[in-house]
Amino acid sequence: MQIPFEPVIFGYSINIHLVLEYLAFFLGFRYYVFLRQRRKDIISSRNRLSIILGAALGALIGSRLVGFLENPLITFTQNNIIQLLNTKTIMGGLFGGLLGVELAKKSIGENERSGDLFVFPIILGIFIGRTGCFLSGINEFTYGNQTASVFGMDLGDGLLRHPTSLYELVFLTLLFLGLQHIKNTKTLKNGDLFKWFMILYFAFRFFIEFLKPNVFYVLGLSTIQILCLICLLYYRTTIFSLKLNRRVR
């Protein structure tokens, strides 16, 4: 199979990344519905709907805003503006969704943690979407730097590059299995599963960004990496509590 993978059906070239992106939303939501039906949700259906709407709005704004901040010095031509409006990032979507949920819960007076039900559907959705990124090769700005390592792949420009999307697929698989194991074998407080998903995923993305041809702006860090640090700072209490528990033992 050649990358970028661009299947042609009935004479039309198919954008495989766009197809898988829509599939990720659909299957992720169906997985969420399946999980909610299998367990008793302590949040009412009405409040849960408000939370989902808050998450969707926050994710939409966050993904677009961070996408813009990744290209702050762009020349404002018609083509560039159209491309910029279509730019979005999963990192901005996740953190924006988190803030949207917190605002929605505050507005409806909901105090229960609500994120655990979203963890595995989100991982599934990211996995499917990142598969689309990998198959799109250099057509999506998710490829890695040139490398002489054994992991180097030709992603469509004749150069051997880090297949960072493929690295992320491996990480997401391990993250899914690891969090499932923790969920099934450990007693967690409500909301802890989502916290650890965010901490582990944002930590991974912070380091993987060093393998990408980003344009760095502040202290040698990209916009995505700065957002990762903000997220880790947001969850600092959870991170520090793990360290304290280990010391006590």
Question: Which pLDDT tens digit goes with each residue over 192-243?
Answer: 899 999 999 999 999 999 999 877 777 888 889 999 999 999 999 888 886 5
**Residue with tokens 């004749």, as numbered in its chain:** 158
Q: What is the pLDDT of residue 143?
A: 86
Q: Where are the domains of the chain?
A: 8-42+112-248
Share of the chain above pLDDT 90, in %: 35
Least confident of 73-87, 92-106, 183-197, 233-247: 73-87
Please name every residue paired with 221 in a beta bridge, in sequence order, or none if there are none.
218
pTM of the entire structure?
0.86
**What SS3 class is residue 160?**
strand
The more confident residue out of 245 and 67 is: 67
**AA identity, residue 247:** R
With both helix axes pointing from N to C terminus, report the angle between 236-248 and 223-234 in degrees, rounded to the nearest 10: 60
Cα 190 from chain centre: 21
